[in-house]
Amino acid sequence: MWPIAASGAILFVLGALHLAYTFHGPKLLPRDRALPELMAHSPLVLTRETTVWKAWIGFNASHSLGAMLFGAVYGHLALAQPAVLAGSPFLLALGAVSLLAYAWLGQRYWFSVPFRGVVLALLLYAVGVAMIVM
């Protein structure tokens, strides 16, 4: 089950880096330095209880936590509970669908490094699933 554990590790690391970049440093800031100020003073149409900037931070942080959760759960299952993972078509399918969704999002909305990382994780996951079903 090492390929699935490696897949989970990739997602966990990508999520952890994204979380760190969300709260520290300029990597996720717009190049237009006036934009964060505008975002900080722009409430959403949905509600006046938050701003575009707060939503931006929250979306980035929750996205990071989702990737880390995937990595932690599937890494743990692959290493510590392989029989549970191998015996659950639901969990195997859920992992595949999750990685496919991340790959689609990555191709459509992200840049090359996270997209390539997710594709590598997806390929490793597929190898792991193939090892289980064969």
Q: Which residues contact 12 (CB under 8 A, 6 or more apart)?
A: 67, 68, 70, 71, 72, 75
> Over 90: is that where the pLDDT of 128 sits?
yes
> Over 90: is that where the pLDDT of 134 sits?
no
Q: Which residues contact 131 (CB under 8 A, 6 or more apart)?
A: 1, 3
Give the domain ranges of the chain. Answer: 2-133
Q: pLDDT > 70: what percent of the chain?
A: 100
pLDDT of residue 75: 98
Nearest to 3 by CA among 114, 104, 96: 96
Is pTM beyond 0.85? Reply is yes
pLDDT of residue 16: 98
Helices then strands, counting H and E runs in the chain, come out as 6, 0
> Over 90: is that where the pLDDT of 78 sits?
yes
pLDDT of residue 91: 98
